[in-house]
Amino acid sequence: MSDPIISFQGVNKRFGQVTAVDNASFDIQRGEFFSLLGPSGCGKTTLLRMVAGFEVPSEGEIMIDGQPMSATPPNHRPVNMVFQNYAIFPHLDVRNNIAFGMRKAGLTRAELDKRIDEVLELIKLPGYGGRGADELSGGQRQRVALARALIKQPKVLLLDEPLGALDKKLREQMQIELRQLQQQIGITFLFVTHDQEEALTLSDRIAVMSEGAVMEIASPGQLYESPGSPFVADFIGSMNFFEGEVLSSTDNAMTVETGALGTVSVTNSDAQMVSGQKAWVAIRPEKMQPVFSDPGDLANTAGGTMGPSAYLGDRSHFYVHLPQREDPVLVALQNLERSMTQLHKPNQPVWLQWASDAVVVLPRD
Partner 1 sequence: MNANRPWWRPDGFAVYAIIYLTFIYLPVLFLPLFSFNKSKYIAFPLKGFTLQWYQKMINTPDLLEALMNSVKVGITVAILSTMFGLLAAKAVTRYRIPGRGAVMGFIMVPLVIPGIILAISLLILITQLDIPLSLWTVGFAHMLLCTPFAMLVLISRMEGFDRSLEEAALDLGENAWMTFWRVTFPIVLPGIIASLLLTFTISFDEFVLAFFLTSTDPTLPIYIWSSLRFPLKLPPVLALGATIFVLSFIVVSFAEWIRRRGVKLESSSGI
The footprint of partner 1 on this chain (CB under 8 A) covers a number of residues equal to 31
Instruction: Compare residues 85 and 277 and give the one whose CB is closer to partner 1.
Output: 85
Write down the least CB distance from residue 66 to partner 1, Å: 21
| Interaction of residue 170 with partner 1, rule CB under 8 A | no
Tally of CB atoms within 10 A around 115:
17
| Interaction of residue 66 with partner 1, rule CB under 8 A | no
According to CB under 8 A, which one of 24, 50, 88, 181 is a site residue for partner 1? 88
Instruction: Compare residues 166 and 178 and give the one whose CB is closer to partner 1.
Output: 166
Pick the piece of the chain touching partner 1 (CB under 8 A) from 80-88, 168-176, 204-212, 304-312: 80-88
104-123 footprint of partner 1 as x/- string (CB under 8 A): x-------------------
Write the CB contacts of 153 (distance below 8 Å, at least 6 apart in sequence): 187
**Any idea how long the chain is?**
365
Write down the least CB distance from residue 346 to partner 1, Å: 44
Tally of CB atoms within 10 A around 321:
17
26-55 footprint of partner 1 as x/- string (CB under 8 A): --------------------------xxx-
According to CB under 8 A, which one of 9, 30, 65, 87 is a site residue for partner 1? 87
- Nearest Cα to 205, choosing from 225, 219, 193? 219
Strand arrangement of the beta sheet that strand 349-354 belongs to: 288-291, 349-354, 301-311, 315-321, 329-334
| Interaction of residue 17 with partner 1, rule CB under 8 A | no
CA distance 265 to 90: 62
* Region 289-328 residues binding partner 1, contact defined as CB under 8 A: none
One DSSP character per residue, 289-310 reads EEESS---S-SSEEEEEEEEEE
CA distance 163 to 189: 14
- The number of helices, as runs of H, and strands, as runs of E, in the chain is 8, 20
Positions touching partner 1 (CB under 8 A) are 52-54, 73-76, 80-81, 83-91, 100-101, 103-104, 132-134, 138, 141, 148-149, 152, 165
